[in-house]
Amino acid sequence: MNIDKAITYAESIVRKSLNYFYDCFPTEQSENLVFKKFENVSWTTGFYEGILWLMYELTGDKAFYNSAKHHSEMFHKRLVDRVELEHHDMGFLFTLSSVADYKITEDEQAKQDGIEAAEWLLKRYQPKGKFIQAWGSMDDAQNYRFIVDCMLNIPLLFWASEVTGNRKYYDAAYNHMKTSIANIIRPDASSYHTFFFDMATNEPLRGETHQGFSDDSSWARGQSWAVYGLALCYHYTHEEAILPLFERVTKYFIDHLPEDYVPYWDLIFSDGSCEPRDTSAAAIAACGILEMEKYYHNQEFLDIAKKMMSSLSEKYTTVDYLQSNGIIKDGMYSRKHGHKSECTSWGDYFYLEALMRMKKSDWKIYW
């Protein structure tokens, strides 16, 4: 795989849209491989600022820096105006914007914005159930659940604990991690998308899917969230019990990859299926494997991560679609809800993050 060539192509895509997205963000997914303009109201807008910071670190070009700082100001305004903050995706939003900004520039306002975002995320914590509730009213029994995606949101809390010295953030993140490990990971190391508890008794009730094929299958992106989430939890906790679980969860993911190493949107599907792929799941899992490689060497996993990235860069970029302003195609937002294969904002981000990891092994993570 030619890493420099892949980065150069990604740079060309991001650069040509700098002015177009200067005062806004890309939509969650593209339409005919073209992202439209979007206000800062979604759970996905942080991915664009994350891309800008990655491009700045890869190129040193102030054009990316200036755009990233401008978008940080928009995230500050989102906090001030309290725009769509009452959900668990505060990590996706503010880790790749305010926290990344602070880690790169040491901007004090960015640091305070990250801490404030962590406070909002902490409001989603259910102390009796010991998990961060995904959506809805905190006193609604029908919403008394969490989802596997939140494994990528809790690093915001771990980070907030580090920079403030306040244990409350760490404890909430750690407890959510333990609850997830105990309930959302099945005995065979596959994963549920969402898991419900009884609000009155706090007894575990059932696992279900929200975007996967069925309650018993393993949604590909959900499994990749588990892979990367466990790696990030190990980064912050160094809890040895995570290592064998990471190995099993990752093995399940790679054992269900098709011949070209890019999964179908649910791992129940295999070679010969007419179902769509989800390139974003491959990129996310690659990031998780490359993160854990810093602590736990597994040559098989490392080889698979490289093969996934090679396949993405050689077969799934938008290079043949001149109208596109996305980087990788064939991302699947939610097949179950009627979405089509497109570029996704998170797919582009994690693909570029994985390229960064392959280019610079000493890269300091934003998470």
Nearest Cα to Cα of residue 21 among 64, 62, 76, 80: 64
Of residues 89, 101, 113, 330, which has the active-site annotation?
89
Rounded distance, CA 58 to CA 192, Å? Answer: 36
Q: How far is CA 159 from CA 118, 119, 168, 353, in A?
A: 9, 12, 12, 19
Of residues 149, 266, 278, 330, which has the active-site annotation?
149
Q: Is 89 a catalytic residue?
A: yes
- Location of structure tokens 């060309």: 12
Rounded distance, CA 332 to CA 146, Å? Answer: 21
Q: How far is CA 26 from CA 65, 67, 131, 322, 325, in A?
A: 18, 13, 31, 18, 10
| Residue 362 marked ligand-binding | no
| Contact in structure between 102 and 111 (CB atoms under 8 Å) | yes
Q: Which residues contact 37 (CB under 8 A, 6 or more apart)?
A: 20, 21, 24, 25, 26, 27
Query: Which two tokens mark 193?
Result: 């998308």
| Residue 212 marked ligand-binding | no
| Residue 331 marked ligand-binding | no
| Contact in structure between 353 and 54 (CB atoms under 8 Å) | yes
| Residue 120 marked ligand-binding | no
Helices (H), the chain: 3-16, 46-59, 62-81, 90-94, 100-105, 108-122, 155-164, 167-183, 220-237, 242-255, 279-292, 299-315, 345-359
For residue 113, the Cα-to-chain-centroid distance in whole angstroms is 20
| Residue 89 marked ligand-binding | yes
Nearest Cα to Cα of residue 96 among 135, 43, 59: 43
Q: Which residues contact 361 (CB under 8 A, 6 or more apart)?
A: none
Helix (H, G, I), strand (E, B) or coil at 38: strand
Binding-site residues: 89, 149, 207, 209, 221, 225, 334
Annotated binding site for substrate, which residues?
A: 89, 149, 207, 209, 221, 225, 334
Supply the residues annotated as catalytic: 89, 149
